[in-house]
């Protein structure tokens, strides 16, 4: 599967929303093609290098498909788009085109079946509700009640101030319940660090 890539200093999760300002020609062309074909592009987290410029940054092998949900011209004249995370993928091989756009031979990753939330997830669900009060989260239309374990894990993984490598660790897990368990450990560690 040939997928154009957009390396960013962020980790996108399925079902989560991200606002982007597009100004580089290679990405304007890419967004135009994606919108004409009703196709997505891949968001991969930069491990080393910069978001802007010719040199291709080093990026994670795990990424998330981004589907354009809305677009508008910004007051500064740039194209603003809102994307929503789709399927997870693994980059098998990547190459840089003459226009400096990176494309990947990507393999879609299968999620294990989603499960309903249980009583043991009440604290994490409450944390998501608290995050929903933040103006930035509210402006993205996120943080509503989670529909299941996968939705809860993805939204918390995306919204919490975790390190990029922690977010990538979560994104790489196929099991929503395992994602929640690892997330709980990360939150406990965060709280431990704050109370230390």
Does the pLDDT value for residue 54 go beyond 60? no
pLDDT tens figures, 57-80: 789 999 999 999 999 988 888 899
Cβ neighbors of 113 (< 8 A, separation 6 or more) are: none
Identify the residue whose tokens are 């154009």. 4
Cα–Cα dist 166/141, whole Å: 24
At 55 the pLDDT is 55
Instruction: List, in order of start, the domains of the chain with CATH numbers.
Output: 2-108 (2.30.130.40), 119-195 (1.20.58)
Does the pLDDT value for residue 155 go beyond 90? yes
Query: Global pTM?
Result: 0.92
Cβ neighbors of 41 (< 8 A, separation 6 or more) are: 3, 4, 5, 6, 30, 31, 34, 65, 66
Does the pLDDT value for residue 52 go beyond 90? no
pLDDT band (50, 70, 90) for residue 195: confident
Task: Please give the backbone phi and psi of residue 136, each rounded to the nearest 5 degrees, phi first.
Answer: -65, -45
CA distances from 89 to 4, 93, 148, 174 (A): 12, 12, 21, 11
């Amino acid at each position: 599967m040939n997928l154009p890539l957009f390396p960013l200093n962020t980790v996108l999760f399925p079902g989560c929303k991200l606002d982007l300002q597009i100004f580089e020609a290679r990405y304007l062309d890419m967004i135009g093609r994606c919108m004409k074909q009703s196709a997505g592009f891949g968001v991969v987290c930069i491990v080393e290098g910069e978001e802007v410029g010719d040199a291709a940054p080093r990026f994670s092998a795990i990424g998330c498909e981004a589907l354009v949900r809305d677009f508008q011209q910004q007051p500064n004249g740039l194209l603003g788009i809102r994307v929503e995370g789709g399927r997870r993928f693994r980059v098998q091989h990547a190459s840089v085109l003459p226009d400096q756009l990176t494309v990947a031979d990507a393999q879609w990753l299968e999620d294990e079946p989603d499960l309903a939330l249980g009583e043991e997830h009440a604290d994490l669900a409450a944390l998501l509700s608290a995050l929903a009060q933040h103006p930035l989260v509210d402006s993205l239309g996120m943080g509503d009640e989670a529909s299941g374990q996968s939705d809860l894990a993805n939204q918390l993984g995306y919204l919490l101030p975790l390190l990029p490598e922690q977010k990538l660790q979560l994104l790489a897990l196929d099991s929503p319940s395992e994602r929640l368990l690892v997330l709980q450990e990360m939150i406990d560690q965060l709280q431990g660090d704050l109370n230390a």
